[in-house]
Structure 1
Amino acid sequence: MPSREEITYFGAGPALLPTDVLKTAAEALVNFEDTGLGLAEHSHRSELATNIINTAKADLAKYIDIPDDYEILFMQGGGSGQFSATVYNLVGIWVERRRQKIIKELGTAEGADVPQDKVLERLRKAVEEELKIDYLVTGSWSLKASQEAARLLGPEHVNVAADARKVNDGKFGKIPEEKDWKLSKDPAMVYYCDNETVDGVEFPGFPEILKPSGEEGPIVVADMSSNILSRRIPVRNFSVIFFGAQKNLGSAGITVVIIKKKLLPPAVSTPEPALLRKLGLPVGPIVFSYETIAKNNSLYNTLNIFDVYIAGQVLKKALASFSDNVTGQEALSDKKAKLIYATLDAHPESYKVVPDKSVRSRMNICFRVTHGDSIADAEKAFLAGATKKGLTGLKGHRSVGGIRASNYNSISLEGAEKLAAYIDEFAKGPRI
């Protein structure tokens, strides 16, 4: 049996965790800070739990430079839960803002006493004719997010502003040019997945067309589950950023939401559930309410404090490793990705990188092995040989097949070098 030190795990998630973080967490699980209880046994209402949450929030804000006018939430339900939560919360804000606008218009026309039946009539018409959520569909996860929105609201309220399959022969692997995006006039949000783990597609940077002009701009929501903490991001361009912890931050079980405080009370009002029901709109579970989670410092219900602790330890290690915080990690991530892609590109007769070169993911390197007459046989041989060298977790997602090397932050430069060396060695070996 191989030891942990002999294995480099390239799985897409749950991903590899630093060994020293796991050892620290293992001790905390048995006896946390000499309390006689393991961390998983302590109350989430305890002072130590609050300290763990607040420290993790502060370290995350420091590491990726989150401004003070943003709130950090720890939630449950994973990224898939946020497909729903973003709809519930941001549609509600859109409805309330539209309601206030209608009241102001009617009040100007008819005096102070605004008939509520007229407000409801105008609001219902606005929902039917104007409510849209825009999705940039560039891979499997953004597609699932758009499908969930259509399930909750109805497809008439979901605008797929860009569909990568339409510019890539029915498959994912490119990002349509911004000039071709069909954005709505006043959407409740514009949603995109910054890095698609299944398809190996990553946005090179923040879309120019979505950049705010002055203080106002579209409500932009980004799923950064698989590339958060790997590069510097312009946080102020986003209204909501969310990510599951199990790629670059920690273990599966918590989801982080970074949200503008302008989208939380008292800065903004949220509609009453009764009003949403009258409008035929869904009322979300209270555990998905950003307002509720923010009011309770992420402790409305029983949060997995142990998972927050692991995330906090990962952040402390990252802060200690890079004096320039996430900028240092970005340089390392880029170096690892360039090394692996350069090795693949050096052997075009043996490998085919799946996505277009302009949108290649630094985190999920997806390719096919064409080293022989049968791709299936060649990939089987490639995976078997990799395992013998301690390079595991390389099998592609079940929906697309192929090979996928997930180059998350926990993969060392040495691990990337080992993979590149094996890619080169396999290409130079006998054809399958």
Structure 2
Amino acid sequence: MVINFGAGPAKLPREVLLEVQKELVEYGSSGMSVMEMSHRGTTYVKLHEETLELARELLKVPDNYKILLMQGGGTGLFAAVAMNLIGRTGSADYLVTGSWSAKAAKEAAKFGKVNQVVPKPAKYTCVPDPKSWKLDPKASYLYYCDNETIEGVEFNFVPETNGVPLVVDMSSNIMSRPVDIKKFGVIFACAQKNIGPSGITLVIVREDLIGHQLPTTPTILDFSIVAKDNSINNTPPTFIIAVVGRVFAWIKRQGGLQKLYQDSLTKSNMIYAVVDGSKSFYYCPLEANVRSRMNVPFRIGGPSGNETLEKEFLKGAEQLGMQQLKGHRSVGGIRASLYNAVTIEEAESLRKYMLEFLAKNS
């Protein structure tokens, strides 16, 4: 049996995959696959609407927010956010706490002035104290990444902006805990972590922030056009959206976001407990209050890691069916991604293996 701890594209619920398999050739009574039907036909439009309605229900999205399904992934939204919002004042604040927010800031600088509110650290291991942030009250928005997939830094609070619109990338922790949508101007999340296959990005945008796009904004990235046409201005990835809808329905059956939040704490805490109890055999570089529930990074043999031990660990894990545990190439080490579809039992299997490997090598 394979246990997929990949950071993305990541594991999908087996229950959902079996549902998709059953309807792959013929969706409902349509006589055709979702991949074959018109994106403007009655059957697909109903499926599309149901997916959006489930997203609104699960996240408790207020009526004054539009929910969009956009293409281009997180990288596309790095540009889309700036092109749609930075023109309001010509500048934006970026709180960089990891690789993905750094990439977003670099992309935004193509379209306006970017103010990085904290200095770049040697390594991303914390969220700097808000008292040290240098915020611009005239910024078009403040941008941050709620969970840095590579480094494993996750915010445990929502930044205060004193009225400046707050933009957040929740790609790797969306639908893993309740969110107060009203605190944000824009939330976006690419699908391939918690909500479906790669190829679609969920965007939630407050209505008053729509309509400020730069004149050069491409149609496919223009929030106003995508919202007006209900995310069907061009042909959407219909099959992917169908799978996302199935995942949303699965989340609802699990008990919703509060249940998944509790599960995420159970899974991540059991892995961090092994790390902390290993007398530095396992080492996590992160400050304790920002340790991600979704992506648990650690080294073996100390802060710099022992590559021989780490390779042995990965080889042994693969022999037990535990796949994609290798850390990101930019930081090395081990990374266990514990998204919604990863079960508590699967996390327990990793915990058990970590303890056995510790006992063998300490």
Same fold (TM over 0.5): yes
3-state SS in 1 of match to 2:39: coil
Q: Does 1:88 align with 2:86?
A: no
- Structure 1 match to 2:105: 146
The code of the aligned residue for 1:384 comes to K
The alpha-carbon deviation at position 356 of structure 1 amounts to 1.3
**Number of aligned positions between the proteins:** 362
Structure 1: segments with no counterpart, 5+ residues: 1-5, 96-130, 274-282
- Structure 2 match to 1:288: 221
How far apart, in 2, do the equivalents of 1:42 and 1:152 lie? 38
Q: Which has the larger radius of gyration?
A: 1
Q: In the TM superposition, what are the counterparts of 1:180-195 in structure 2 within 5 Å?
A: 180-195=132-147
The code of the aligned residue for 1:397 comes to H
3-state SS in 1 of match to 2:24: helix
Q: In the TM superposition, what are the counterparts of 1:147-296 in structure 2 within 5 Å?
A: 147-153=106-112, 157-163=113-119, 165-166=120-121, 170-207=122-159, 209-210=160-161, 217-264=163-210, 269-270=211-212, 273=215, 283-296=216-229
Q: Does 1:315 align with 2:248?
A: yes
- Structure 2 match to 1:399: 330
How far apart, in 2, do the equivalents of 1:24 and 1:91 lie? 42
Q: Is the 8 A contact 2:299 2:305 kept in 1?
A: no
How far apart, in 2, do the equivalents of 1:372 and 1:402 lie? 10
The code of the aligned residue for 1:148 comes to E
- Alpha-carbon distance change, 385 to 299 in structure 1, aligned in 2, over 3 angstroms: same
- Structure 2 match to 1:13: 8
- Structure 1 match to 2:18: 23
Q: Which moved more, 1:252-261 or 1:33-42?
A: 33-42
- Structure 1 match to 2:96: 137
- Structure 2 match to 1:42: 37
Higher helix share: 1
Q: Which moved more, 1:291-300 or 1:325-334?
A: 325-334
**Deviation per CA, 1:99-154, whole angstroms, max 9, x where unpaired?**
xxxxxxxxxxxxxxxxxxxxxxxxxxxxxxxx32100000000000001111333x
Structure 2: segments with no counterpart, 5+ residues: none
Percent sequence identity over aligned pairs: 41
- Structure 2 match to 1:410: 341
3-state SS in 1 of match to 2:35: helix
The alpha-carbon deviation at position 374 of structure 1 amounts to 6.9
Q: Is the 8 A contact 2:283 2:302 kept in 1?
A: no
TM-score by length of 1: 0.81
How far apart, in 1, do the equivalents of 2:238 and 2:190 lie? 15
Q: Is the 8 A contact 1:371 1:378 kept in 2?
A: no
- Alpha-carbon distance change, 133 to 347 in structure 1, aligned in 2, over 3 angstroms: same
Match of 1:384 among 305, 309, 315: 315
Q: Does 1:348 align with 2:259?
A: no
TM-score by length of 2: 0.96
- Alpha-carbon distance change, 372 to 299 in structure 1, aligned in 2, over 3 angstroms: closer
3-state SS in 1 of match to 2:10: coil
How far apart, in 1, do the equivalents of 2:123 and 2:10 lie? 26
How far apart, in 2, do the equivalents of 1:295 and 1:45 lie? 15
How far apart, in 2, do the equivalents of 1:135 and 1:70 lie? 23
- Alpha-carbon distance change, 272 to 404 in structure 1, aligned in 2, over 3 angstroms: closer
**Cα RMSD for the two superposed structures:** 1.7
